[in-house]
Amino acid sequence: MLIMYYYYYIGALNFYKINSMKKTKLLFTGLIALLGFNSIAQEVDRCGTNVYMEERMQNEEYARQHNEIQARFIENLDLQKSSRRNEETLIIPVAVHFPTGSESNRDCLVELAEKQMEILNNDFNGTNADISNWDNVEDNYPNSSTGSANVRFVLATENHPNLDPDLEEGDPAVTIGYNFGNGGDSDTNWAGYLNFLVKPINAGLLGYSPLGGNPLQGDAIVMNTFAFGDNTVGCGQFTSSAPFNLGRTVTHELGHHFNLAHIWGNQGGCSNDDGISDTPSASSATYGCPSVVNQCGSINMTMNFMDYSNDACMYMFSEGQTDVMRSYIETVLSYYEEDKIDPQVIEDIKNENNVSVNEFSSELAFDLYPNPAADHLYIKMNNEIISENITVQMFDITGKMVFELGVNGKVEEIVNTSSLKNGMYFVKVFAGDKYYADKVMISK
Ligand SMILES: [Zn+2]
């Protein structure tokens, strides 16, 4: 179970050599002939990362850079494990590409891209509303806890390459009808971004990514047209379909991009592992919405984003997994170009990060309840601040203020939260020359 990541990595490379692409394709075609599409989604390796990575590694220069990044990653992971240091929010500029999209659909596609960023920002930071389901199952996983990578994905708005005539400076980096990578899956014109490429791919596949993406190469997370965004936004051919309609397969593929294997390892069987100590051993993928599965003498972590459960039934990364992703992002962070993001947005994110540090203050001057809240949130001021002029502000996870109110002399305030989306929010209370902060979950 406790296999050093280094050995896992060597094992993965061997796997790439023996599992030839041709053989997998043949198997895949045969299954399509035998089964209907719905069955395909259940039976076939719906994520093409391992096969795709084998293909990428055949390029000598790509493989050389990959090995160099992996060597530095292993050093970073050792550091991360010895002293967990997730304090600083890592900010990543994102571009989303729809080569088969239509320009007349731009507003919708931008909204779809923004929705997917919101989902990723929640899933990677453990602030998704359904992570509360973990409370019901955590006794099954005594050596595990949920993790947060403290990372922020921001649609880039500045210094775009001049490639899509309809993409204007200041607008989100969403290309429509641009032939990304000349039909391939990476594009060095878009080096420096985290790229999402949404296009029709083999119908049984939801998506794929390099196992350890390289921003210098303009690598992309490739998603099928029906597996990007969620069921609240649909844009013609880019409309997600159940059970992959909550944007979670993008979370899964982005996990690969940041060096995570499937929780059953790459070869399957109980003696193979994902190299992460707090994800229990699994011998193969689980599908649908499994209850309790025990393949290797411990209960499978089927709700993990790196299994194959339905979007609605996966909701967490483990702390060991977020250690890996955090270490990987730190390794390649300098390849992402920060000048693609509005400096004000960067500053707002950094300030918000300071808020989350203060939330652990023992001199908390107010209480929030219930937490999680649904349609109403009560804010109760404690004695030490009640004589001050008080202002309450609430922010969503992107740093946008959702309300502000003055509370002069009142002990308790009721806030109507019925119009807020599910997720994590930060509440700041300004009293005199100080402010206090806490967070609250909205869940309906
Ligand atoms: Zn996968």
Q: Which entry of 253, 319, 330, 352 is annotated as an active-site residue? A: 253
The topology under which CATH files domain 5-341 is Collagenase (Catalytic Domain) (3.40.390)
Asked if the domains at 5-341 and 355-442 fall in one CATH topology, the answer is no
Distance, CA 57 to ligand 1 centroid (Å)? 17
Contacts of 19 (CB under 8 A, 6+ apart): 50, 51, 54
> pLDDT tens-digit profile of 340-394?
999 999 998 888 765 443 444 435 678 888 888 999 888 888 776 777 777 888 8
60-82 vs 49-56: helix crossing angle, rounded to 10: 120
pLDDT number for residue 84: 65
Task: Answer yes or no: are the C-beta atoms of 163 and 178 closer than 8 Å.
Answer: yes
Task: Answer yes or no: are the C-beta atoms of 426 and 394 closer than 8 Å.
Answer: yes
Distance, CA 83 to ligand 1 centroid (Å)? 29
CB atoms within 10 A of CB 10: 10
Domain residue spans in the chain? 5-341, 355-442
For CA atoms 236, 118, 151, 155, the dihedral sign is: positive
Distance CA 117, CA 111 (A): 10
Distances in whole angstroms, Cα of residue 229 to Cα of each of 71, 129, 168, 246: 34, 17, 23, 7
Distance, CA 273 to ligand 1 centroid (Å)? 14
Distance, CA 178 to ligand 1 centroid (Å)? 26
Question: In sequence order, what E strands does 85-163 have?
Answer: 90-98, 151-155
Distance CA 73, CA 250 (A): 23
Q: pLDDT truncated to tens, each residue of the chain (444 aa)?
A: 333 333 233 333 333 332 333 333 333 333 333 333 333 334 446 899 999 999 999 999 999 999 999 999 999 999 888 876 667 899 999 999 999 999 999 999 999 999 999 999 999 999 999 999 999 999 999 999 999 999 999 999 999 999 999 999 999 999 999 999 999 999 999 999 999 999 999 878 999 999 999 999 999 999 999 999 998 999 999 999 899 999 999 999 999 999 999 999 978 899 988 999 999 999 999 999 998 999 999 999 999 999 999 999 999 999 999 999 999 999 999 999 999 999 999 998 888 765 443 444 435 678 888 888 999 888 888 776 777 777 888 877 666 778 888 877 777 888 889 888 888 787 877 776 666 777 888 888
> pLDDT tens-digit profile of 289-345?
998 999 999 999 999 999 999 999 999 999 999 999 999 999 999 999 999 999 999
Token pair listed for 66: 């990959």
Distance, CA 204 to ligand 1 centroid (Å)? 13
Report the DSSP beta bridge partners of residue 437.
Answer: 428
pLDDT number for residue 41: 39
Distance, CA 328 to ligand 1 centroid (Å)? 17
Distance, CA 385 to ligand 1 centroid (Å)? 51
Distance, CA 301 to ligand 1 centroid (Å)? 15
Distance, CA 339 to ligand 1 centroid (Å)? 31
442: left (phi over 0), alpha (psi -120 to 50) or beta: beta
Q: Containing H/E element for 71?
A: helix 60-82
Distance CA 52, CA 32 (A): 19
Task: Answer yes or no: are the C-beta atoms of 336 and 193 closer than 8 Å.
Answer: yes
pLDDT number for residue 66: 97
pLDDT number for residue 4: 33
pLDDT number for residue 11: 32
Residue range 355-442, CATH number = 2.60.40.3080
Distance, CA 145 to ligand 1 centroid (Å)? 21
Distance, CA 47 to ligand 1 centroid (Å)? 4
Distance, CA 300 to ligand 1 centroid (Å)? 16
Strand 401-406 and strand 434-442: the pairing is unpaired
Distance, CA 95 to ligand 1 centroid (Å)? 21
Distance, CA 249 to ligand 1 centroid (Å)? 8
* Residue 198 Cα to chain centre, angstroms: 16
The burial class, CB within 10 Å (0-12 / 13-18 / 19+), for 254 is buried
CB atoms within 10 A of CB 339: 12
pLDDT number for residue 2: 33
Active site residue 388: no
